[in-house]
Amino acid sequence: MEKCSMCKKEFPVSALKEMVQIIDRKAYLDKYCPVCQAVAGNNPSYYYLAVKKAK
């Protein structure tokens, strides 16, 4: 079990995903649970580590 960086609840490692948060042009790598991934997905300062298809 590992803690979600946002809600601080514990989840199985397989449920957590690494996301990058940009704060003051610095990137912070953290792990987020599925609920917080959805929240972060709507926040433009968070990015998934996986490469997105860019235009």
Size of the site for Zn ion (CB under 5 A): 5
Taking CA atoms, 25 is separated from 18, 29, 37, 51, in Å, by: 18, 13, 21, 19
Residues 33-52 that bind Zn ion (CB under 5 A): 33, 36
- Contact predicate 17/5, CB 8 Å: no
Q: Cβ of residue 40: shortest distance to Zn ion, in angstroms?
A: 9
| 19 interacts with Zn ion by CB under 5 A | no
Angle CA 50–20–25, to nearest 5 = 125
Q: Cβ of residue 54: shortest distance to Zn ion, in angstroms?
A: 27
Residues that bind Zn ion (CB under 5 A): 4, 6-7, 33, 36
